[in-house]
Structure 1
Amino acid sequence: MQLTGTPFLLLTIVLVPVSIVVALLLWGRVRGPKPFQALSRIVMLLFCQITAVLMVFVMVNNANLIYGSWDDLLGTGSHVRAVPNLQAGPEGGDPGNDAQHAKVIQQFKPVDDPKVPGDVRTTDLKGQVSGVDGEVLVWLPPQYDDPAYKDKSFPVVELLPGWPGSSKTWFGTLKVSEQLKPMMQSGQVAPFILVSPRTTLLDDSTDTGCADVPGKVNADTWLARDVPRMVLDNFRADPSADRWAVAGYSAGGHCAAKLALEHPDRYRAGVSLSGYNDPAVEDKSLTAKDPHLREISNPLNILKSAKNPPKTSLYVSGNKGDGLEAGEALKAAAKPPTSVTVQETGGAHSSDVWKPMIPGVFTWLTGVIPVRH
């Protein structure tokens, strides 16, 4: 039974009145010594409370897709098959033009979750370079199958969830494809291919910080090389870095800014919604625990230490104390051709803030990503 499935949700709802009825029926029938009677009734009350808390948890989790599976919730699923030493290997460059690249054609299927639209597809990808295995969700714009576009390649946006978070969240909670489809059809927004890869990779559900951590995980390589390669192998995606962007919210926003500044040869733009610069904001991040990783994973440090200002455009949003200051620091440090747009927001650190921002964010992306005719 799936964690986010309707059957499990219905089960938790049914268990609440059942637990109350059971407690009422058995309350006066408990026999034995007084301590035993008292303990039995405490257990009944606890059972009622547990079922109620479980129901609320499942409702909240289903609404926000914080945990996409039992493995994510329990921390029982590792997606790291190997941790190759990449320091001696090739770095940078177009992920579609690696001489060692063995082309892999993936099989795609519908996402088994009622909250995710039926036109979103998923595949299980084995990362050839990173040693990471995980699902990747893909949505194709309405123009993709239009005969008028049969010879056209499409721009791509990678969508990163927060931590903890699921690759389904952008589609299931933020409704990104449902919001953008009519805007793409009307020409308000460019016809982007949307790609959401798994970012929770370790069996203890530790936040990887989207970094390559020696001996632990090659999360950066998974996101910036293996996932783009898969997209280029299987779809008419434009290989030019000028036609790629990466976007995220919360911890995913931190990752988006980091990846965009770190790999200007792969991404033209990055979007950070309520993200942060210093990895130590997330105390369970692997990059926060190592002083060197903490320094080199900070988008502000990446920007300041670059030999040449990267040709990168950033859109950073946040409330005071929740991402705004990070965006202002990046804007102050940016020099052409780097540009930073900062948007102050209100409200809590939640999907209720990020969801209505999607049309504006993708309108901005459409202005940044050059249109090819």
Structure 2
Amino acid sequence: MTISLLSAHTLLASYAVTGLLTVVLLIVTRRSWRALLIAAAVGAGVGVLLTWWLGDVIDVLGVAPTSVDRVWVAVACALLAVAVVGLVRGRALTKGIAAVLVPAAVLSAGLAVNRDAGLFPTVTEALGQSHIRALRLPDDRHPSGQQADVAHWQAPADMPRTGRYGSVTIPGSVSRFPARPAVVYLPPAALVEHAPMLPVVVMLSGQGPGAAPANIVEAGRMASRLDALAAEHHGLAPIVVMPDQLGEATRNPMCVDGPLGDSATYLTRDVPDWVREHLHVAAGPSNWAISGFSQGGTCALQLGATDPDLFGSWIDVSGQLGPTLQDRSDTVARGFGGDERAYEDAQPLRILQQDAPYSASAAFIAAGADDHRYGPNVQRVAAAAEAAGVQVTAHLVPDGGHDWHTAGHALQEGVAWFMRRTGLAEPR
């Protein structure tokens, strides 16, 4: 269950088995090579058309297929077509080899696509489960009352070298939103006696198959990234709270209050109330940031625009321009109960323009340089935010796409930016 699905060893082993099966099948069906070549060509063509139709035309995942996706789907379909020839024309041995090639080809392609996106690090996550244990909150319930400051903070000798993370339950007491368990990261400075009051980053995952708060630490490797930031700053880093804004992996309430659930109230009332009650956190919007990747980035833009008195900073990584389902009509119908006015009023770029100036807000807006679908949004959002008075930092991740490799890097850069803004790190 804990075997790495991103390891080169795992991928090479799968490729070796698939390649060996293919070679053996070609040898035992040598009298049908012409049929095999035709099948492989047809299969590859079907794979190309499949990725184009599902990824570019229908847009089933909301993300355009990468070159790796296209190549491996074509390869998998070619191998499947070859296997079909073996199953139809071959004898018992040939049929057996062809039957084993089918799952081997699918597995190899799936591993390649998964590694490209960095989505499921282990078998556990691929099965929709998580090995994240419940978080043990610090026993010390008496904060020092002093906000952490690099100029005065001295790490005690017994401070842990790394932070701690785990799952917690944040109930929808006000919103009644059916959230799944959240994940919370506590930096080393939060684990000592009389811990300082630390800033907070609320961080949201994307939406789609397998989407969950755990993606942030498992696929995005945020715990180790945050530990690295804390190690550079004497154990200081923000407390990062990763709540569930979806309810289900493939559900999208769009971080608004509507027919799909009161996700906005959950994030702006229930989550902050729980955080203030259970953790040693600094007060005031200058010490709170909302952040996220993909759909979570869209939410960060929305809540940064609508709730500047709660979130003085927002980190939008690869987000859209506003709450979106399949298209505008679908969004209005399902997400806003057919209310066009409510839909228009929920558009963050419009809100930024109407509620300007945002004299105390700041935004970190990022995307992958190779993300041709969401990357262009960086400049549009940055321009709208700057026009509204927001202090904007824009960042494009070199060679980055719309995946967790890019998201992990950009979110880490965003947290480092927020640390400088809150005084946990010295300005550059």
Q: TM-score, normalised by structure 2?
A: 0.61
Among candidates 309, 319, 328, match of residue 358 of structure 2: 309
Q: Tell me how far 1:7 sits from its aligned partner.
A: 10
Aligned residue for 2:191?
145
Q: Tell me how far 1:180 sits from its aligned partner.
A: 2.5
1:245 aligned onto 2:289: yes
Cα distance change on mapping 1:371 and 1:337 into 2, 3 Å: farther
Deviates more, 1:168-177 or 1:43-52: 43-52
Greater relative contact order (Cα 8 A, min sep 6): structure 1 or 2?
1
2: CA distance between counterparts of 1:207 and 1:46? 38
Among candidates 396, 411, 419, match of residue 344 of structure 1: 396
Cα distance change on mapping 1:71 and 1:126 into 2, 3 Å: farther
Q: Tell me how far 1:370 sits from its aligned partner.
A: 5.0
> Is the 2:199–2:288 Cα contact (8 Å) retained in structure 1?
yes
Letter in 1 for 2:319: G
Q: What is the percentage of aligned positions where both structures have the same residue?
A: 21
Cα distance change on mapping 1:57 and 1:328 into 2, 3 Å: same
Give the SS at the match of 1:126: coil
1:235 aligned onto 2:279: yes
1: CA distance between counterparts of 2:241 and 2:375? 26
Aligned residue for 1:93?
none
Aligned residue for 2:408?
355
2: CA distance between counterparts of 1:66 and 1:255? 23
Cα distance change on mapping 1:119 and 1:207 into 2, 3 Å: same
Cα distance change on mapping 1:284 and 1:137 into 2, 3 Å: farther
> Is the 1:162–1:251 Cα contact (8 Å) retained in structure 2?
yes
Gaps of 5+ in 1: 29-34, 73-106, 111-116
1:258 aligned onto 2:302: yes
2: CA distance between counterparts of 1:8 and 1:180? 23
2: CA distance between counterparts of 1:152 and 1:201? 33
1:178 aligned onto 2:224: yes
| Cα deviation digits, residues 170-213 of structure 1 (max 9, x gap) | 2112222212223223328952001111233148x232212211
Aligned residue for 2:37?
none
Cα distance change on mapping 1:244 and 1:282 into 2, 3 Å: farther
Letter in 2 for 1:217: G
Matches within 5 A, 1:150-229: 150=194, 152-164=196-208, 165-187=211-233, 190-202=236-248, 205-214=250-259, 216-229=260-273
Aligned residue for 2:156?
none
Q: Tell me how far 1:293 sits from its aligned partner.
A: 4.8
Cα distance change on mapping 1:129 and 1:42 into 2, 3 Å: farther
Cα distance change on mapping 1:52 and 1:225 into 2, 3 Å: farther
2: CA distance between counterparts of 1:6 and 1:264? 43
Gaps of 5+ in 2: 30-86, 138-161
Matches within 5 A, 1:5-20: 5-6=2-3
2: CA distance between counterparts of 1:332 and 1:317? 13
Letter in 2 for 1:344: L
2: CA distance between counterparts of 1:346 and 1:127? 39
Aligned-residue RMSD, C-alpha:
4.3
Q: Tell me how far 1:286 sits from its aligned partner.
A: 7.0
Cα distance change on mapping 1:325 and 1:153 into 2, 3 Å: same
Letter in 2 for 1:212: D
Q: Tell me how far 1:232 sits from its aligned partner.
A: 1.4
- Structure 1 or 2: larger helix share? 2
2: CA distance between counterparts of 1:37 and 1:314? 62
Q: Tell me how far 1:138 sits from its aligned partner.
A: 0.6
1: CA distance between counterparts of 2:127 and 2:342? 30
| Cα deviation digits, residues 112-145 of structure 1 (max 9, x gap) | xxxxx99311023321011123211011011112
Aligned residue for 1:328?
379
Q: Tell me how far 1:227 sits from its aligned partner.
A: 1.6
Letter in 2 for 1:195: V
| Cα deviation digits, residues 259-304 of structure 1 (max 9, x gap) | 1111112111111112121434755997465544542333212211
Aligned residue for 2:348?
299
Give the SS at the match of 2:301: helix
Work out which of the two has the higher radius of gyration on C-alpha atoms and give 1 or 2: 2
Aligned residues: 318
> Is the 1:157–1:246 Cα contact (8 Å) retained in structure 2?
yes
